[in-house]
Amino acid sequence: MHDGVTVIGLGAMGSKMVEVFLEAGRPVTVWNRTAAKADPLAAKGATKAASAAEALAANELVVISQVDYAAMYASFAGAESELKGKVLVNLGSGAPDELREAARWAEGHGAALVTAGIMVPPPGIGTPISYAFYSGPEALVDAHRETLTLLGDVRFVGADPGLSMLFYQAMLYVFSSTLAAYFQAAALVGTAGVPAEGLRPYVADMLEQLAGDGPMGIVAESTREIDAGEYPGGENSLHMMAVGMAHQVHAFADAGLDAGVPAALRDLFDRTVAAGFGEQGLTSIVEIIRKPGN
């Protein structure tokens, strides 16, 4: 198999991808809207294409790392005839529907689109912690797995081209909302002069317990509940959790802190109780998340 790869988009992510491919000995052809960004990579051995059409022509595998999907269309405008037979692997972000539309666009030009969401910042690319969610034609992901694995572990999540971004956005949400919760908590103890380090060991322990298999392994337990559509509350009813959530909002507000995010959570709990889930468990809020506006 031809092991060359074209990389379109030489921002922070794309440039690092090129370096990783070059370090693995792959012939790399590059193109970027702002041509000067290709120069340091050309100095490291990449071939600088004079146009997007030339970059497309160079290899079957075309890795795209741009700010969004509009950038891809703009880059290939006028070069569509070169798309035929190409495997486009787009690692940029977009809304799932944009990805589905882009897959149809590629197919219309005789190309195939594999969509992807990479879960590390630039320095992480090509390191053991790196992985990306891929969706689209599985056979093409398999055909290019060896090359794509250079960037990070390949996690194929399904044929629907929107799926890679659903996983990507879902994981980023868990990341940012979990950290934001910790920051909020650290600010709360901070109002009494306690440094964040005074709280950190407890938070670290709780996160480990939640994700683990022990009696506090609530991630696994609620996963079973979500998939079963059953939310037994037992001694930890949602009603009790909602009362506690209201107390937390008071605590943040009384301490002079921004209570916007905790209040939004309290409202979600309250709406779920109002919908009749008060005697069930916390996981039942998923029912209201699925019915916005109710």
Site for ligand NDP in 56-85 (CB under 6 A): 65-67, 71, 74-75
Q: How far is the CB of 195 from ligand NDP (least distance, A)?
A: 29
User: How far, CA to CA in Å, does 68 sit from each of 30, 33, 58, 176, 192?
Assistant: 18, 13, 23, 21, 44
Size of the site for ligand NDP (CB under 6 A): 21
Q: How far is the CB of 186 from ligand NDP (least distance, A)?
A: 24
If binding is defined by CB under 6 A, does position 92 make contact with ligand NDP?
yes
Q: How far is the CB of 7 from ligand NDP (least distance, A)?
A: 10
Out of 7, 13, 102, 116, the only residue in the binding site for ligand NDP (CB under 6 A) is: 13
* Lookup result for tokens 């029912």: 287
Contact assessment for residue 26 and residue 132, using Cβ atoms and an 8 Å cutoff: no
Helix pair 163-190, 238-254: axis angle to 10 deg: 60
Site for ligand NDP in 210-249 (CB under 6 A): none
Out of 5, 10, 106, 166, the only residue in the binding site for ligand NDP (CB under 6 A) is: 10
Distance between CA atoms of residues 34 and 57, nearest Å: 19
Distance between CA atoms of residues 87 and 84, nearest Å: 9
Contact assessment for residue 17 and residue 151, using Cβ atoms and an 8 Å cutoff: yes
Distance between CA atoms of residues 175 and 146, nearest Å: 28
Nearer to ligand NDP, 58 or 259 (CB): 58
If binding is defined by CB under 6 A, does position 33 make contact with ligand NDP?
yes
If binding is defined by CB under 6 A, does position 174 make contact with ligand NDP?
no
Q: How far is the CB of 289 from ligand NDP (least distance, A)?
A: 24
Phi and psi, residue 83, nearest 5°: -75, -20
Helix pair 196-211, 163-190: axis angle to 10 deg: 140
Stretch that binds ligand NDP, among 28-36, 105-113, 135-143, 262-270 (CB under 6 A): 28-36
Nearer to ligand NDP, 29 or 75 (CB): 75
If binding is defined by CB under 6 A, does position 118 make contact with ligand NDP?
yes
Q: How far is the CB of 172 from ligand NDP (least distance, A)?
A: 9
DSSP code per residue over 53-75: HHHHHH-SEEEE--SSHHHHHHH
Nearer to ligand NDP, 12 or 289 (CB): 12
If binding is defined by CB under 6 A, does position 109 make contact with ligand NDP?
no
Q: Please identify the residue of the shown chain whose CB is closest to the bound ligand NDP.
A: 11
Nearer to ligand NDP, 71 or 141 (CB): 71
Nearer to ligand NDP, 9 or 278 (CB): 9
If binding is defined by CB under 6 A, does position 34 make contact with ligand NDP?
yes
225-261 exposure pattern, b = at least 16 Cβ within 10 A, e = fewer: beeeeebebeeebbbebbeebeebbeebeeeeeebee
Distance between CA atoms of residues 41 and 22, nearest Å: 9
Both tokens assigned to 83: 């798309």
DSSP code per residue over 146-168: HHHHTTSEEEEEESSTTHHHHHH
Nearer to ligand NDP, 121 or 195 (CB): 121
Task: List residues near ligand NDP by CB under 6 A.
Answer: 9-14, 32-34, 37, 65-67, 71, 74-75, 92-93, 118, 121-122
